[in-house]
């Protein structure tokens, strides 16, 4: 019942500038997809082309296999919600919602029925007689949505639907829209520049930049496995640490071990999100807390060692429990991340380095290995790994640490 949107090879030049460059995209029936990107990335142009408000130079847009480019916007059956709602200011809320039916010459009784059902759906039962100017931003947004839904559109398109609202209203509306979509199951595409919004709402996030689709996938997949530095940076803050991959180890250029990698060799940059950095107070640690910003739920901690500073974030409760304070010594453990660059063709996952609390193999086992001849090559390998760790990262000197305790 829901419509499938297929976009193929969409191109658009405007004033010598490539606005859309060979866009291929399929939105599955009933899917809720987000076009995410900075301003000027072409996301709104793409949305307008699906609606028929803009024309591509070449390419195809199909609804359920049927080419709709030849059809004018008024015949495409799309519900479009504009960024600033574009409500008809001289009409009441009820007439706004009924507009699409009125121009189709639907009998008045039918229109009234439908309008009151939609008013109920968007929880504005008692505001049908008001004018748009008399409504709050969130209410206008819902009227715009009801108006778009009135024509029973094949696809629903929303341009920056929450951009003009304040934070609390935005969050409520987002959840409400998510519920609504789950109930109606209409194929929906919305444009946003807010990654949090995209992640919370969408089944699929399409990251755009410079008129191209950089990556498209489930929110978690994008977040965990960005295909390039742009996507990685756009989806959230990341520490960028120059490094190289050697013998399965990721070593920061500043001279310490970041973690392991299962492939690649050579230089690159490790992208580590603030929450992927764990801190442990230890006066003998190589890192110092340079800065501590206690926000609401999350605290940000700037840590530094010679020539390198990183930003970590952790739950404020946890920061309090650890007793973190500016100037104190800490150990830093990188729990994850991505390495991109010359080291490998595709981004490589950064795995945590072996650690005493979560060792690759237990130390006891290694001690045992030292007495007896290692019988497994695996154990031999483990020993080699540990020696490498000791060379590259003095902070992994377990004995010294234990004495300090």
Residues near another protein (CB under 8 A) are 51-53, 72-76, 78-80, 82, 84, 86-91, 99-100, 103-104, 147-148, 150-151
Nearer Cβ to another protein (73/361):
73
Residues 6+ apart with CB under 8 A from 180: 121, 145
Identity of the residue, 103 or 263, whose beta carbon is nearer to another protein in the bound complex = 103
CA-nearest of 128, 163, 136 to 36 is 163
| Whole-number Å distance between alpha carbons of 383 and 250 | 17
Per-residue DSSP letter, 355: B
Give me the least distance between CB of 50 and another protein, in Å please: 11
Q: In the sheet where 17-27 sits, what is the strand order? A: 17-27, 5-14, 58-63, 66-67
* Residue with Cβ nearer another protein (99 or 287): 99
Query: Which neighbouring-strand residues pair with 310?
Result: 303
Contacts of residue 71, defined as CB under 8 A and 6 or more positions apart, other chains included, come to 52
Strand partners, 10: 23
Q: Is 321 left (phi over 0), alpha (psi -120 to 50) or beta?
A: alpha
Pick the closer one to another protein by CB: 10 or 150: 150
The residues near 31 (Cβ < 8 Å, ≥ 6 apart) are 187, 188, 203, 204
Biggest CA-to-CA distance, the chain? 92
User: Strand 298-305 relative to strand 58-63: parallel, antiparallel, unpaired?
Assistant: unpaired
Nearby residues of 107 by Cβ (< 8 Å), 6 or more positions away: none
**Smallest distance, Å, CB 151 to another protein?**
6
For residue 80, the minimal CB distance to another protein (Å) is 4
Nearer to another protein among residue 76 and residue 273 (C-beta): 76
The nearest distance, CB 95 to another protein, in angstroms, is 10
Tokens of 50: 């699906």
* Minimum separation from the CB atom of position 290 to another protein (A): 47
CB of 124 or CB of 314, closer to another protein:
124
> Judged by CB, which is closer to another protein: 89, or 371?
89
Residue 101 or 258 having the CB closest to another protein: 101
Cα 305 to the center of its chain, rounded Å = 30
CB of 94 to another protein, least distance (A): 15
Q: Which is nearer to another protein, 72 or 307 (by Cβ)?
A: 72
Q: Least distance (Å) from another protein to the CB of residue 329?
A: 57
CB of 147 to another protein, least distance (A): 7
**Orientation of helix 167-184 relative to helix 137-150, angle to 10°:** 20
Q: How far is the CB of 100 from another protein (least distance, A)?
A: 4
Q: How far does Cα 208 stand from its chain's mean position?
A: 12
Strand partners, 158: 81, 190
Nearest to 389 by CA among 361, 370, 365, 369: 361
């Amino acid at each position: 019942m829901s419509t499938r949107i297929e976009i193929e090879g969409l191109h658009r030049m405007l004033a010598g500038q490539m606005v859309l460059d060979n866009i291929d995209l399929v939105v599955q029936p009933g899917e809720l997809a987000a076009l995410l990107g900075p301003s000027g990335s072409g996301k709104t142009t793409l949305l307008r082309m699906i609606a028929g408000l803009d024309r591509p130079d070449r390419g195809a847009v199909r609804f359920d296999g049927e080419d709709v480019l030849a059809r004018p916007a008024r015949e495409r059956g799309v519900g479009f919600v504009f960024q600033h709602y574009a409500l008809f200011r001289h009409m009441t809320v009820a007439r706004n919602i009924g507009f699409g039916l009125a121009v189709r010459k639907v009998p008045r009784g039918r229109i009234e029925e439908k309008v009151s059902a939609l008013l109920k759906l968007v929880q504005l039962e008692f505001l049908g007689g008001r004018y748009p100017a008399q409504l709050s931003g969130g209410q206008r947004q819902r009227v715009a949505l009801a108006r778009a839904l009135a024509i029973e559109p094949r696809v629903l398109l929303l341009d920056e639907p929450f951009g003009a609202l304040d934070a609390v209203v935005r969050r409520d509306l987002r959840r409400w829209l998510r519920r609504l979509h789950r109930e109606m199951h209409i194929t929906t595409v919305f444009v946003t520049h807010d990654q949090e919004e995209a992640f919370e709402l969408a089944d699929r996030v399409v990251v755009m930049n410079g008129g191209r689709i950089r990556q498209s996938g489930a929110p978690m997949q994008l977040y965990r496995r960005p295909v390039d530095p742009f996507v990685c940076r756009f989806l959230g803050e990341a520490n960028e640490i120059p490094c190289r991959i050697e013998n399965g180890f990721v070593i920061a250029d500043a001279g310490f071990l970041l973690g392991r990698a299962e492939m690649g060799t050579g230089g690159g940059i490790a992208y580590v999100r603030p929450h992927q950095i764990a801190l442990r107070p230890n006066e003998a640690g190589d890192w110092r807390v340079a800065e501590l910003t206690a926000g609401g739920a999350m605290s940000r901690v700037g840590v530094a060692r010679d020539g390198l500073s990183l930003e970590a974030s952790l739950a404020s409760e946890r920061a309090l429990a650890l007793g973190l304070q500016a100037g104190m010594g800490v150990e830093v453990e990188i729990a994850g991340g991505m390495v991109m660059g010359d080291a490998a063709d595709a981004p490589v996952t950064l795995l945590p380095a072996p650690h005493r609390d979560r060792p690759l193999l237990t130390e006891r086992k290694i001690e045992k290995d030292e007495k007896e001849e290692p019988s497994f090559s695996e154990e031999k390998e483990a020993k080699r790994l540990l020696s490498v760790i000791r060379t590259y990262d003095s902070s992994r000197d377990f004995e010294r640490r234990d004495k300090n305790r």
